[in-house]
Structure 1
């Protein structure tokens, strides 16, 4: 049970970071798809690392 809860918490941080990064990337590049995806990837990595 604790492993499932820990995995869910990690996933939430990763997804939250990806969502925030995608939004920032989109705004910073004036709606560029590449900027949005790049921001989402960077945000996901940061969220994952912070959840460790």
Structure 2
């Protein structure tokens, strides 16, 4: 992985962590799923799996 890829991945991860805020479990699941899908698409990973992980993380956080 090149330095540019590393910087891009860290920046996307930081933006996703900071932007995924919601007031209820449903909002956090929805925003987590959308952010997971976006990060998955941007990094070339499976969008469905990334969305599921993001939604799961959104539901589990308080």
* TM-score greater than 0.5 by the shorter chain: yes
- TM-score (norm: length of structure 1): 0.68
- TM-score (norm: length of structure 2): 0.58
Counterpart among 14, 36, 53 of residue 42 in structure 1? 53
Shift of 1:44: 0.3
Matched, 1:24 2:35: no
Distance 1:23 1:17 in 2: 10
Does 1 or 2 have the higher relative contact order (CA < 8 Å, sep 6+)? 1
Larger Rg: 1
Gaps of 5+ in 2: 1-22
Paired residues in the alignment total 40
Q: Which runs of 4+ in 1 moved over 2 A?
A: none
Gaps of 5+ in 1: 1-7
